Amino acid sequence: MSSLIFFDQESAKRGYALRIAGDIIGVSDEKYDLDEHIDRGGNATIFRAQSRSTAENVAIKFLLNTSHKLRARFQREISLMGKINEEHFIKMFDHGTVTVVDRDKKRKKVPFVVMELADCNLLGLLSSKRDKISYEIYASQFRGLTKALSELHKHASHRDIKPENILVANDRWILADCGLCTAVSEEEPGDLTGETRNIGPKFWLSPEAHNRRLGCQDVINEASDVFQLAAVFWLVETGRQPCGIITKEDWSGPEKLFELLYRALYHNSNKRPKNGEEFYNELCDALVS
């Protein structure tokens, strides 16, 4: 078992790795043994691991960039995962902090979260299939994801919905990665992202996120999440991203879904379903029509 954590294999080869001092122990007192490296983000890295007492396979996400703001974001993400119990929302099993030692023998505390282990993300699933996913399969997944979003919206906005942040575990699509979410409670600081930074995924930004980056005073809210999730749904059915001006001729799916997704992708956020709950209810109505 590895006792090193790193961003990626190349960084480990160059010596940019942190050695864990002692065991990985969560707040539940469960111990975890690291296995292979899975993925990395801008500030965190993810490993496959095993629970020592049950041998259950899990994923552990370590925050390697431990600035004050990023620690606050990470704790917010942990708090959200602890609040939401929904089949299509990422499940958290445990969390904690480990002491690590860098190559200069300096020690620091690194927070981690233990989550369910997925097979891949939605982008990987779509890329691996020769034929597009059938309506019979994706309809229930769309329903589950919008339900997960409606539960999330009782606490926060996601702001970072993209195919890479929708995980696939067996036959279940899972909304994940809440690192850019808004405040979970009134006691928390509001937006931990700088005013001049992109808020959201580079190629999946809502119109208001683009406008805010350009200096406009647009508000990024729950309707922005609806836009991003609708864009992912459009990709699943058509195999193409709904950028530019889309028309009915660009849609290849069932007639009953077009009008809802078309409205959810309006430039004007006030004309979209206003949040996950409204989107979920309208989607359920469309699916049974």
Q: Dump the DSSP string for the chain.
A: ---EE-SSHHHHHTT--EEE-S-EE-TTS-EEEEEEEEEE-SSEEEEEEEETTT--EEEEEEE----HHHHHHHHHHHHHHHH---TTBPPEEEEEEEEEE-TTS-EEEEEEEEEPPPSEEHHHHHHH-SSPPPHHHHHHHHHHHHHHHHHHTTT-------GGGEEEETTEEEE---TT---SSTTS-S--S-TTS--S-TTS--HHHHHHHTT--PPP-HHHHHHHHHHHHHHHHHSS---SS--GGG--S-HHHHHHHHHHT-SSGGGS-SSHHHHHHHHHHHHH-
- The answer to whether 253 touches 225, Cβ cutoff 8 Å, is no
φ/ψ of 267, rounded to 5, equals -65, -40
Phi-psi region of 29 (alpha: psi -120 to 50; beta: other; left: phi over 0): left
Q: Give me the tens of pLDDT residue by residue for the chain, a chain 289 residues long.
A: 458 999 988 888 888 899 999 999 999 999 999 999 999 988 999 999 999 999 999 999 999 998 999 999 999 999 999 999 999 999 999 999 999 999 889 999 999 999 999 999 999 999 998 889 999 999 999 999 999 999 999 999 999 999 999 999 999 999 999 988 885 544 444 454 554 455 677 889 999 999 988 899 999 999 999 999 999 999 999 999 999 899 999 999 999 999 999 999 999 999 999 999 999 999 999 999 8
111-to-77, 181, 244 alpha-carbon distances in Å: 12, 18, 41
pTM for this predicted structure:
0.91
Class of domain 4-115: alpha beta
Sequence spans of domains, the chain: 4-115, 120-288
Name the CATH architecture for the domain at 120-288: Orthogonal Bundle (1.10)
CA dist., res. 122 & res. 6, Å (int): 24
